Amino acid sequence: MHNAQIALVTGASRGVGKGIAIALGAAGMTVYLSGRSAASSSSRLRGQTLPGSLAETAVAVTRAGGQGIAVPCDHAEDEQVRALFARIEAEQGRLDLLVNNATFLHENLIDPGPFWEKPLQMVDILDVGLRSAYVASCHAAPLMLRGGRGLIAFVSSYGAGCYMHGPAYGAQKAGVDKFAADMAVDLEGSGVSTASLWLGPQRTERTAIAGSARADQYQAFLANAETPEFNGRVIHALLNDPKRESLSGQTLISAELALRYGISEAEGRQPPSYREMLGAPRQQHPARVI
């Protein structure tokens, strides 16, 4: 395993982060896993405790063929994030992939109604989700630059371009898309790339509960939903794409990247792109004001 690529997936206790990490493990990677649920979960949705922990994910990554390393970390605390990257540097000396997935999702996120009638804590997604991705990227970039290659990936959504779950959610997703675009300018020519990925509906513990509560709205979407492991395979393919740098800074639709790399779900199903229904990623203007 000493020649394995090194990854960090933030927010990997469950859901999208867990599935991405398992897929990276299946590709033989050493995967550091961060999140608050070290050995058990305290996260709840609709009165139910969401299953999953870093310890469980680490075991699953290792069973898949990689090496899972769980590191409890609250991404709202900058010092804990600094310590996380210091550990990776001390143990590995490099980092090949950062998947910025950690985010705060309030349990009222998909409730109907305007933003001013929802809890003010909805805006915390701009702390853990947007700011936290910036902080993690600031620590990851020097490690990657030392090795002359790497990928900083942001987990995003069609909600960056259309109304989805309200303004706080949309701002966070649009924000990470812009992070990818502008960080790519600073990293240009270094061998380190960035990308923001619009994922489709996901099959996770959270969406299973949410889908049952809002079956009228989510049943059709979830029928064609992606698994997080599918997106992990897409991210791994992007990391190892010889032409990766030509895509740096772009916001990419994961389902469309999957076609480029010949990736499908385990049963051969090809998740659709929602470009026509929900919109296309924004094209950034080429002007640069230094």
Residue from 32, 134, 163, 169 carrying the catalytic annotation: 169
User: 210 is written with which tokens?
Assistant: 């949410």
User: 213 is written with which tokens?
Assistant: 């509560």
Q: Is 169 a catalytic residue?
A: yes
232, 19 in Cβ contact below 8 A? yes
Question: Annotated active-site positions, please?
Answer: 169
